[in-house]
Structure 1
Amino acid sequence: MRRSVGLLYLLARVADTIADSKTGEVNLLLDALDAWDATTDKRQHEVPDLSHLATLQTLDAERVLLEQAGLAVEALSATPSEDLQMMRTCLKIIIGGQSLDLRRFGPANDQDEISSLEDDEALDDYAYRVAGSVGEFWTAMSRHHMFPSRMSLHDEAWMRDGVRFGKALQMTNILRDIPEDLRFGRCYIPRARLDAVGLAPEDLRHASSMDAFRPVYHALLD
């Protein structure tokens, strides 16, 4: 189980690094994500050439990750079929969320204009795609490897809690990363919640807005 969970993390980190590459070419990133999805899903055999994106990385670890992404793909061949199916399902959801993010916000470059999610439904969908699905994967893997013969477990409740756990971790990241996301022109705080307290996404850049924003922050934290 440990190997498969670690390998999924590595595959997802490649996708995340692609999506976060500092380039103004949205279509280039979307094409790279599509190619990575096709490769990890075995719909194409050649590992995509990520060398251009590798040169854009400011962290050596992420540069090396993209340069050697083929090693992670090779490791899939030694993965048990049951694990492989769960890994591919989860990774496809994650990549779908990252692609949706790029179409919605554009690439992660410094921007003056800020776009935001519209409502709680959009936030919940985003949180599921990039993190709730991972909690779902962890739960399914644990059930399969640690309790394979215990049929009395409440699988539906387990899966629901796994999704909630993943979403909660992502919400923590969203609230922590508000300043950085705003710098890249992204606001994951739903516009509907900001409208309700008389704020716009741009207002979150200013400390003077914190008193008005605090109830929204605590509501999302809860």
Structure 2
Amino acid sequence: MSKSQIVFNVEVRERTGTGGAREARNNGFVPGVLYGGGIDPVAISLKKNEVIKAIETGHFLSATATLIHKGERQLVIPQGIQMHPVTDQPMHVDLRRIKVDQIIKVEVPVHFTGMEASPGLKKGGTLNVVRHSVELNVPAGKIPEALEADISKLEVGDNVKISNITLPEGAEPVITDRDFTIATIAGRGGKAEAEDAAEDAAAEAAEVPATKVAAPKKD
């Protein structure tokens, strides 16, 4: 399911509060609230199977969706979801009304390409991911499914910064005061070196004969 295919067929809930939410769940719906757009919030019920399918796309909170009620369509973006702590089933959803050209803030995952060709990785380096996702201010109609970071030419010590990633037209990162790092190609440093040092120290300690301690003299 692509972002443009997420659809929620909803009903307006006459009953609100805990009792209304419980009734919706018992009838196979997920209770929710629709707000924004200068209009009063509305209590709604979403089909549970549609909510689950949207969650399974992996970008539930960073994708626009089409809400349908009695044949009328409204562009929305999920703003929050509550899951049951035991069953992990959706319990409540918040949806915000938006317009296709409206600038909104979303968190977009970063996908890395060119890993097989990276000379740094071929030499034994490791991909150290600093940011698995990036917050963007982007037009609602141009939210990407993911940002692509190409590491095919990176050597050990090189990095990918936000300036190296192509953003959709009209989009910019929420952080604008610096060219922040997305990932680096690290050598055998950091944690690996610390682990090696600990192993070497343990090996050296095993090779050193135990020091004899004289028994204390009796008075």
- TM-score band (shorter)? under 0.3
Bigger Cα Rg: 2
Higher relative contact order (CA closer than 8 Å, sequence separation 6+): 1
More strand by share: 2
Query: Normalising by structure 2, what TM-score?
Result: 0.25
Query: Normalising by structure 1, what TM-score?
Result: 0.24
More helix by share: 1
